[in-house]
Structure 1
Amino acid sequence: MKAVKLVFGLICLAILASNIWAMSRWSEARGVYDDICYLRQAHLFQRFGAGGLDTNALRDDDRYFEGKMKEIAFSEWKDPAQWPCHNPMQGGKLVLQYPPGTGFLLALFPEGHQVVPLYIAASLIVCGLALSGIVLARTPWSVVGAGVFGALAVYLMVNPAKASYSVAPTMAVCAVAGFLTAVWLSRDKRSVLMIALIGLLLGASVNFRLPNALLAAGYFLFLGIPFLWTRSLATFVQGLAFGAGVLVGMVPTLAAQAINAGSALATTYGSADVVGPTFDLAVFGQYLRDMQFVLILLAVGATAWLLGARERHKRLAALVVAGNLAFNLGFFMTHPIFTPYYVVPITMLSLWTLSFAGLLQPAATREAASVGCEPASLEALPR
């Protein structure tokens, strides 16, 4: 089995090396409006520090964004009212529509060489967790499963993650949050600090993409519904800790919205981007023909499989994921716009959670194995 683990580990590393080689040749001027707007946010952070949260078009007094517009031959580069990714707010100012997280991460790297290091750093995190899963696998089938999923996760850091700079850090956060969720559920006593950390990570992911706020839905359902039934103080504290973590993680976005839109709860997106739910067969059909549909099938299939597992922590992980998948897929399948990455975050968070839930053993099981006995029933173990 060690040889199989080594083979899959080398496959993941080979894909990582191939990705890094491909990334090293990427251009930051590929003509995509979103790219240039994220780079403008990064430029503002590098110029003004925390003051870069203010994305008013008037702050382009050094003509940075104008220069980027000219590079891609944008005809209205002189007129801020025509700039892409900018929307008018009260008082007539024009601001970036995106939350500040992606720009902040890009600002950590030197101008002109920001995108490639961001993607490499995110890929290293994903690959590290993929290798960890392979190491944790204890049976031949689990080694194969962890190896195939790890290779897929590393590959996805190029396609479809390249479609938007916000996807790369989101993928890394989903991998870490999925691992921590599995660890949290495998403990006999679930740590309040750990669920707060999971909430913090998911809240921080909102700073990359606002729809990432939906990634926390399944956790709120998992913690909220049992509290309504039992009125348990422990469940209430865990739910409160998770909610507080999510809120703290979102602080940069809330601050940016307060500065740019006049209220922490006001969006900087235009009316064309804020639309009510509707069901469009054409949009649904696009998902069926896209790689995202494969990820959806994998996530749904793995959830159904673990719902029938003997181990309690696996069933609990499947319950968290089931609620999260239902909520998120329900939203995006009724969203009248399709992109190649919309449901990738929720499917990857789900698959990372389920993968590690299947690989980790609860503490009581490990103790029983260490003394050479197998408990007759995991349901009989103390909670």
Structure 2
Amino acid sequence: MKIAKFAFGLICLTILASNIVTMSRWSEARGVYDDICYLRQAHLFQRLGIGGFNTNTALDDDGYFEGKLKEIAFDEWQDQSRWPCHNPMPGGKLVLQYPPGTGFLLALFPEGRQVAPLYIAASLIVCGLALFGIFMAPTLTSTVGAGLFGALAIYLMINPAKASYSIAPTMAVCALAGFLTALWLIRDKRSVLLLALIGLLLGASVSFRLPNALLVAGYCLFLAGAFTWSRTVSSFVQGLAFGIGVLVGMIPTLVAHAINAGSPFATTYGSVDAIPPGFDLAVLGQYLRDMQFVLIVLAIGSTAWLFFDGKQRARQVALVVAGNLAVNLVFFLSHPIFTPYYIVPITMLSLWTVSFAWLMQAETAREAVVPAGLEALPR
């Protein structure tokens, strides 16, 4: 089994090294509007500090964004009303539509070399958790499973994560939250602080993508159900701790909305983005032909397997994941627009959670057997 652990660890590190080489060659002017808009937010943070929460186009008096538009040959670079990713707000100002988290993380790196370091840092987190899963696996079967999933997770940091800068940090958060969720439900003592940390991470992920707010759905359903069933102070405190964690994590987004849209609960997205739900067979067909469909099948299949084959605690993990999957899949599959990364966050959060729950359950079972065997040994 040690050979298998070493082999899969080496495979994961090889994929990581290949990813780093590829990421280091990426251009920050590939012609994608979202890219330069995230970079404008980063520039504002580097230039104005906390004042970078204000994304009013009037602050582009140094010509930074105009220069970025020229780099990608945007014809109407002089007309701010035509700038991509910007929407009019009350008072006549134009602001960025995106939450501030991705831009803030990009601002941590030197201008001109921001994207590659962000992706490399996120990939290191994902790889670290993948290696941890491999080396904590107690059996050959679990080692192979953890190794295959780890290799897949690291590969996905190139494709489809490259489609949007917001996906890289989201993938890292999903990996961390998946590990902590399994730890919270599988271990004997359920820590309120650990649950609050999960809420904090998922709340903070909203600062990368607003739809990440849906990642808390399964947790809310599970905690609400637990309180309704038991009506105990402990279950109430757990729900409260999770809610506070989510709220604290969302503070940067709420602040950005208050500054740019006039209210923490207003949106900086325009009316053109408010697309009503509706199942579209053409869109569903695109998902069927995309890598996301494979991830959906893996997430649903592994969750069902954990529920029917796992012990009581593992089944509770499966319930959280199932609720999360149901809410997110209904939302995104009924959203009549296809992108190559919409469903990636929920599927990866689900797979990370199920993977670590499986590994921790197997490890816990082994630890329970060893003392019983030791008791039979001669003293």
Q: TM-score, normalised by structure 1?
A: 0.96
Indicate the residue corresponding to 1:380 in structure 2.
none
Specify the code of the residue in structure 2 equivalent to 1:283: V
Counterpart-to-counterpart distance in 2, 1:123 and 1:284: 30
Indicate the residue corresponding to 2:200 in structure 1.
200
What are the equivalent positions in structure 2 for 1:123-142 lying under 5 Å apart?
A: 123-142=123-142
CA spacing shift, 1:97–1:226, aligned 2, 3 Å: same
Specify the code of the residue in structure 1 equivalent to 2:152: L
Q: Does 1:210 align with 2:210?
A: yes
Counterpart-to-counterpart distance in 1, 2:164 and 2:278: 25
> Comparing 363-372 with 198-207, which one deviates more in the overlay?
363-372
Specify the code of the residue in structure 1 equivalent to 2:245: G
Counterpart-to-counterpart distance in 1, 2:96 and 2:300: 36
Counterpart-to-counterpart distance in 2, 1:362 and 1:144: 14
Answer whether contact 1:188 1:362 (CA < 8 A) is retained: no
Counterpart-to-counterpart distance in 1, 2:72 and 2:123: 28
Indicate the residue corresponding to 1:268 in structure 2.
268
Specify the code of the residue in structure 2 equivalent to 1:86: H
Deviation of residue 187 (structure 1)? 1.8
Indicate the residue corresponding to 1:154 in structure 2.
154
Deviation of residue 264 (structure 1)? 0.2
Indicate the residue corresponding to 1:379 in structure 2.
none
**Residues 211-254 of structure 1, C-alpha deviations (whole Å, 9 max, x = no match):** 00000000000100121222121111101100110000000000
Q: Does 1:101 align with 2:84?
A: no
Indicate the residue corresponding to 1:145 in structure 2.
145
Secondary structure at the residue paired with 1:90? coil
What are the equivalent positions in structure 2 for 1:1-383 lying under 5 Å apart?
A: 1-361=1-361, 365=365, 368-373=368-373
Deviation of residue 6 (structure 1)? 0.6
Counterpart-to-counterpart distance in 2, 1:89 and 1:361: 51
Deviation of residue 309 (structure 1)? 2.4
Indicate the residue corresponding to 1:377 in structure 2.
none
Specify the code of the residue in structure 2 equivalent to 1:307: F
Secondary structure at the residue paired with 1:99? coil
Specify the code of the residue in structure 1 equivalent to 2:95: V
CA spacing shift, 1:271–1:356, aligned 2, 3 Å: same
**Residues 41-75 of structure 1, C-alpha deviations (whole Å, 9 max, x = no match):** 00000011111000000000000000001111111
Secondary structure at the residue paired with 2:58? helix
Counterpart-to-counterpart distance in 2, 1:35 and 1:5: 38
Deviation of residue 363 (structure 1)? 9.0
Secondary structure at the residue paired with 1:371? helix
Counterpart-to-counterpart distance in 2, 1:302 and 1:17: 28
**Residues 273-314 of structure 1, C-alpha deviations (whole Å, 9 max, x = no match):** 112211111111111110000000000000110111242221
Secondary structure at the residue paired with 2:286? helix
Answer whether contact 1:187 1:362 (CA < 8 A) is retained: no
Answer whether contact 1:187 1:363 (CA < 8 A) is retained: no
Deviation of residue 188 (structure 1)? 1.7
Specify the code of the residue in structure 1 equivalent to 2:256: A
Secondary structure at the residue paired with 1:257? helix
Counterpart-to-counterpart distance in 2, 1:266 and 1:118: 29
Answer whether contact 2:307 2:314 (CA < 8 A) is retained: yes
CA spacing shift, 1:301–1:92, aligned 2, 3 Å: same
> Comparing 300-309 with 348-357, which one deviates more in the overlay?
300-309
Answer whether contact 1:161 1:168 (CA < 8 A) is retained: yes
Answer whether contact 1:186 1:363 (CA < 8 A) is retained: no
Counterpart-to-counterpart distance in 1, 2:226 and 2:138: 33
**Residues 316-374 of structure 1, C-alpha deviations (whole Å, 9 max, x = no match):** 11110000000000000000111000000000000000000000148974653341359
Specify the code of the residue in structure 2 equivalent to 1:301: G
Aligned-residue RMSD, C-alpha = 1.3
Secondary structure at the residue paired with 1:87? strand
Answer whether contact 1:119 1:157 (CA < 8 A) is retained: yes
Secondary structure at the residue paired with 1:372? helix
CA spacing shift, 1:104–1:228, aligned 2, 3 Å: same
Specify the code of the residue in structure 1 equivalent to 2:368: A
Counterpart-to-counterpart distance in 1, 2:55 and 2:45: 10
Specify the code of the residue in structure 2 equivalent to 1:277: P
Answer whether contact 2:178 2:352 (CA < 8 A) is retained: yes
**Ranges in structure 1 where 5+ consecutive residues have no aligned partner:** 375-383
Specify the code of the residue in structure 2 equivalent to 1:346: I
Specify the code of the residue in structure 2 equivalent to 1:64: Y
Counterpart-to-counterpart distance in 2, 1:307 and 1:349: 17
Counterpart-to-counterpart distance in 1, 2:72 and 2:186: 51
Q: TM-score, normalised by structure 2?
A: 0.97
CA spacing shift, 1:133–1:59, aligned 2, 3 Å: same
Counterpart-to-counterpart distance in 1, 2:205 and 2:373: 42
Specify the code of the residue in structure 2 equivalent to 1:52: G
